[in-house]
Amino acid sequence: MKLPASLGLISLLLLTGCKPGPNSADSEALAASLNAPFDYYINGMHTERFSMDGKLAFELSASRVTHFPADDHAELVKPVLHWLNGNAEPWILTANEGNLHHTAGKEEVTLTGSVQASSSTLHTGPMLLETSQMNIWPKDKLAFTEAEVNFSEQATHWHSKGMRLNLAGNTLDLLNDVRGTHAP
């Protein structure tokens, strides 16, 4: 009977008195990983959150999530948030990075690096909001930023410093230094 190569190698090591095990370099790497500030990571994460009445409230995906137990936050790589509002078109938010944490007892998602939020309505068509940073309170259906914001829909373009998006009220408030153009 012929043994598989890996089983043969293990048998040979056991017969000759050698035992496979970590060398000192492996032990140091293992010790370093046990002292890491994170406790787990997930590649290809997707989660769905539901409202109290059982309706899908939002979906969050990321190519990688790393959880840090010291302050119970998770760092997100390439996050995508599908933020739902009843029968209306969802807002789809993307960013280079993000952070999922709790602030004042509320779950908060902070998106950073080329943040884009897009949606569409029957009246205006496609809408695109671009900024460098955005905070989202999914349960309260609120998003806000103090960073520069560019908002466009059809032939209208707005620029502002700061904005507040209220998904429940279906309103977008551009806050400071608002400038815009409209080409009919």
Would 16 be classed as within a structural domain?
no
Would 23 be classed as within a structural domain?
no
pLDDT tens sequence across 65-120 = 999 988 889 999 999 999 887 767 888 999 999 999 987 888 899 999 999 999 88
What pLDDT, on the 0 to 100 scale, is given for residue 26? 58
| pLDDT tier for residue 151 given thresholds of 50, 70 and 90 | very high
Considering the entire predicted model, what is its pTM?
0.75
Q: Give 71-79 contacts, CB < 8 A, sequence gap 24+.
A: 71/101, 72/101, 72/102, 73/99, 73/100, 73/101, 73/102, 74/99, 74/100, 74/101, 75/99, 76/100, 76/109, 79/109, 79/111
Q: Residue 122 corresponds to which tokens in the numbers above?
A: 């029957």
Would 156 be classed as within a structural domain?
yes
Would 98 be classed as within a structural domain?
yes
Domain count, the chain: 1
* Average of per-residue pLDDT across 1-27: 43
Q: What is the CATH number of the domain that holds 118?
A: 2.60.450.10
Q: Which residue has the higher pLDDT, 173 or 106?
A: 173
Domain range for residue 59? 38-182
Contacts of 136 (CB under 8 A, 6+ apart): 81, 83, 93, 108, 109, 110, 111, 142, 143
| pLDDT tier for residue 35 given thresholds of 50, 70 and 90 | low
